């Protein structure tokens, strides 16, 4: 804990909402302290929810991944942009014909929810921009025709992330790149975002929990999504330095936009005065 910005909670919160990639794990490895943190919160019967802007996995896939990493998790504990996208569309445009520029998990979830998917621009009501590693000029043309030529479709996006971080400092272009391509050629503006920092995501994450937002903590590694969502909701936030955000990024923010806590490892969420009674040390994972 060498950096002056690092600060930890002194008490437990009523509930914790965790980002996943860069916070709980990176790639296929749990991050230091993640396992014992989640186990201790569950032992204390403090609600834990996992939140992700990644639309290339459905909740079942997250359950399988977390369980495989040694953190058995139920479907009710998972919320991601596949969930929020489908639910918002069902509530607001249940009869819409959709053109998802997306990968199989989201397309499958939309079909299972009863939506018609089409690449006929004359019939498309909503173009959904998402993380799509098969994005090509044909898909851009369909979106362009539906929005610009037929003046029929609106544009929405699953998440506003510019890139997805990978272990080793690499990354891949994310949804915002596809949204920007569509906006650039059509002159339209994306109307709804279903991922962090959207309140749509936070409402879904807290669904079923009888807790005050002000007594919860959002834990993540991205200032523009995880931390911004907490700020917008009047919720405490903890930024971990194990993913995207760096101490320099946080130091560059004015006080009003900084996270409540800054953690060099995620298990610092457990107040330091409990570490002794738990028999924890900084050398443990």
Q: Report the alpha-carbon distance of residue 30 to residue 244 in Å, rounded.
A: 16
Question: What's the pTM value of the predicted model, to 2 decimals?
Answer: 0.87
| Structure confidence by residue, pLDDT tens digits, 9-36 | 999 999 999 999 999 998 889 999 999 9
Mean pLDDT of 195-222: 92
CB-based burial of residue 7 (10 Å sphere; 0-12 exposed, 13-18 middle, 19+ buried)? middle
CB-based burial of residue 92 (10 Å sphere; 0-12 exposed, 13-18 middle, 19+ buried)? exposed
Encoding tokens for residue 163? 């890139």
Q: Where are the domains of the chain?
A: 15-53+196-278, 82-193
DSSP string, 99-166: EEES-HHHHHHHHHTT-EE---TTT-SEEEE---TT--HHHHHHHHIIIIIS---EEEES---SEEE-
CATH of 82-193, one of 3.40.50.1000, 3.40.109.10, 1.10.3720.10, 3.40.50.2300: 3.40.50.1000
- Tokens 């819409």 label which residue? 96
Mean pLDDT of the chain: 93
Q: What pLDDT was estimated at residue 140? A: 98
For the cut 90, the answer to whether the pLDDT of residue 170 exceeds it is: no
Q: Which fold has domain 15-53+196-278?
A: Rossmann fold (3.40.50)
- Are 15-53+196-278 and 82-193 the same fold in CATH? yes
Q: How confident is the model at residue 3 (pLDDT cuts 50, 70, 90)?
A: low
Are the C-beta atoms of residues 124 and 152 closer than 8 Å to each other? yes
Q: How confident is the model at residue 1 (pLDDT cuts 50, 70, 90)?
A: very low
Q: What pLDDT was estimated at residue 2? A: 44
């Amino acid at each position: 804990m060498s950096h002056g910005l690092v600060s930890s909670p002194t008490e437990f919160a009523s509930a914790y909402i965790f980002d996943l990639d860069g916070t709980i794990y990176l790639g296929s490895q749990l991050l230091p302290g993640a396992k014992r943190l989640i186990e201790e919160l569950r032992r204390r019967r403090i609600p834990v929810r996992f939140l992700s802007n990644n639309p290339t996995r459905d909740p079942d896939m997250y359950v399988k991944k977390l369980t495989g990493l040694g953190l058995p998790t139920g479907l009710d504990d998972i919320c991601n942009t596949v969930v929020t996208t489908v639910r918002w569309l069902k509530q607001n445009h249940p009869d819409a014909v959709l053109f998802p520029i997306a990968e199989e998990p989201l397309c499958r979830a939309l079909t299972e929810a009863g939506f018609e998917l089409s690449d006929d621009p004359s019939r498309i009501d909503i173009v959904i921009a998402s993380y799509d590693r098969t994005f090509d000029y044909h898909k851009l043309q369909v979106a362009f025709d539906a929005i610009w030529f037929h003046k029929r479709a609106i544009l929405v996006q699953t998440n506003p992330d510019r890139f997805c971080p990978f272990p080793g400092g690499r990354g891949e272009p994310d949804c915002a790149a596809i949204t920007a391509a569509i906006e650039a050629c059509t002159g339209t503006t994306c109307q709804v975002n279903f991922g962090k920092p959207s309140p749509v995501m936070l409402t879904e994450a807290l669904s079923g929990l009888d807790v005050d937002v002000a007594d919860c903590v959002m834990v993540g590694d991205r200032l523009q999504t995880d931390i911004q969502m907490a700020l917008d909701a009047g919720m405490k936030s903890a930024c971990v330095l194990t993913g995207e955000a760096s101490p320099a990024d946080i130091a560059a923010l004015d006080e009003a936009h900084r996270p409540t806590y800054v953690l060099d490892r995620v298990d610092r969420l457990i107040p330091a005065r409990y570490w002794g009674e738990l028999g924890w040390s900084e050398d443990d994972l």
